[in-house]
Chain A
Amino acid sequence: MSLEIKNLSYAVDQFQFSEINLTITDETYFILLGPTGSGKSSLLKCILGINQIKTGEIFIDGKSIANLTVEKRNIGYLPQNCALFPHLDVQENINFGMRIRNYPETKIKERTGQLLSLFNIEHLANRSTRNLSGGEKQKVSLARALATRPALLLLDEPFSAVDEGTKKRLWFDLKKVFKTVKVPVIHVTHNFEEAYSMAEQIGIMVDGSLRQIADAQTLFERPATKKVAWFLNYRNFFSGEVKEENAGIYTINSHGINIVFTSKTELSGKISLCIRPQDIKIINPAYPVKAELADNVYEGIIRDMILYPESAIVFVKVDGSSSDDYDFELKFPLYILSRHNLHEQKRIKIALWQPNIIVFKD
């Protein structure tokens, strides 16, 4: 099964998106990642037929569905709040679609049984949907969406109503389920961890545009544009005129900080660099500096620190820079703090992991 979207555009009130092109083949688990209000849910509703598209084409298995009504598209949908019908029990919710499509009674029983067992919710069959937990609701809602064997499954922030503890367990459970049911999935989220751990492919949607489509590792290591990098929470952006020092080795000087980097493509004019917080290392003077770090070593002072349960963010102002506040944002596991005895106003030496410096042509 496959989905192909060509030049899709949509507009409502002040919001619009255009030129959306997307192809999902076979049983790909595709995550549509983007900030709130970027148009992810609107795109899902365009595919479903709930939102009327302005122009463009949508194909499922090569057949155009753009002119079909919602009920004829055969696309499964799971909205943010699961939307289980409160006037029906769990079993009735799951077989709702099959009854509407006049499946024979034996087939309905068989399929409902299969789905209850697939999601491990047989014990909930006769329960009212009002008394289910967030995770249970989500499983029932997914079973309902899969009951009529849709050609495509669309999930809109499916874990938003699930508590943090259950969420990660569900990611693994559902990944297994989707491997069994073999249906292409588009899953909308703004949660990076969720996207990274579940996706086979990720599309980044910002301001109504699909900015980049790639596998999780490529996307998180090499964001294609500054907007994508900014959305991925990467800071440490530097802009300046590029100078070629040697073949493939370039430098820029941005507010008094000289950064050396390599590029396989030829660069000229103004460019921007992004260094991910986790790619800035603290240098221990007792040990030799690794070759990948040696070109960009800076001394400075810790301006501020933010501590999280598992990590720390440290803001460093480099000696000789002209910025008012801080120059680099570093992120590392919490134990690094005690290893280097880090605290505010401490002078430290940091270095950039050169192979991971991301270059954007302005």
Chain B
Amino acid sequence: MTSRRPIVLLGIAAVAASAALLAWPRATWALIAVLGVLFGCLSVRDYKPARFVIALALLLVVIPTAGTHNTFLFELVTTMGIFAAMSLGLNIVVGMAGLLDLGYAAFFAIGAYTWAIFGSGQASEFMSGSFPLPGWPYFYIFSALAVITGALTGTLIGLPALRLRGDYLAVVTLGLGEVVRVTANNLDHPINITNGPQGITPIQRPPVGWLLKPLEWLGLDSSPALAYSIFFYVLVLAVIGVVVLVNVRLDRSRFGRAWVAIREDEIAARAMGISLTHTKLQAFATGAAFSGVMGAIFAAKQLFVSPETFTLLQSITILAMVILGGMGSIRGALVGAMAVALLNLEVLKSFSDFLVHLRQTGFVLNLGIVSYNFANLSDQIEPAKYERMIFGLILVLMMIFRPSGLIPESRHRLELGERKKARDAAKGGSHGAA
């Protein structure tokens, strides 16, 4: 009976959170509650089918229904999904293969530009043909291409970088990430390929006319804006599904085991006949490919790309997701992405707006002994602007107190479990002796 409690609790929580979100689609706390239940679905062990059903119901029924009342939910969850896919990709490189890549946003940039250049009038700056290419079918073709360009760039950057030892690798990937950004920033002359810092806009999207009819049929506002929100939400969920599947398969394959082997001990791995450069390159290219396809989707969703989106801060944000969730853990990468993106996109911004509101209205907090007038609050205190501080803290605190993350990798967990068992046994033994 007791062993069934987690899943029952999870079910009750799911119902309560869904009701809350449907009743108050604009409330941040209701969204946090729903995401908390999703988090629970990812972290509870056993009861696979039940967990799966709860998660699917939340993702496919509850969030979209609430989203039709507050389209920002779609925006938020879609962006979280994009980050989740990238954090899964980086998890392969950093978590499984143990290669610290600080220029991961570069592959995101490559993917985004792959579609942005041809899905807008930009391409006509340097080649003949009729641009922009129409969203159907080219968006899908270029999304597939972005997988290839991402993987290719990964290989190109990896070839020199991966011959280096771990800590040099970090600096070189950081440098090469910057090289990609600065190059994108400056390829507006002599030939205008990227339109430099001004970025590219507007970018074509695939047509969603076919979605309008069902929306109307459901009695909903049948505007293209809502249709696009739903379209990108579903598209991103589908891609994440594929990415997770690939990840799980890889993790248990020869490749996955080789990656973990070189992470744990390069020299021993080499002695076992694993080709270092080869294996590392595979990890690098796989991770980059995920980032590439998300870049193309991001470009279409955002309507705009510019080099400033692909800074070191972006790479560090994704790294923070992987670290928070747990290096090498697939579920951890998802949870980390959800938590960090939610914090960054919604919680901090709402909190900032809330403080601004209190300041503007001159709210006075009266606690009996102390009272504080928010009109005096410095306008420098805006949590949304201190993302670097927050990510920095996440990295440092996790490293010091919980280096294996919120949801440690299962291999690691097994290892720790064994060690604990061994320790218990030793303790028991000494006890007996005494």
Q: Do A and B bind each other?
A: no
Chain A positions near chain B (C-beta within 8 angstroms): none
Chain B positions near chain A (C-beta within 8 angstroms): none
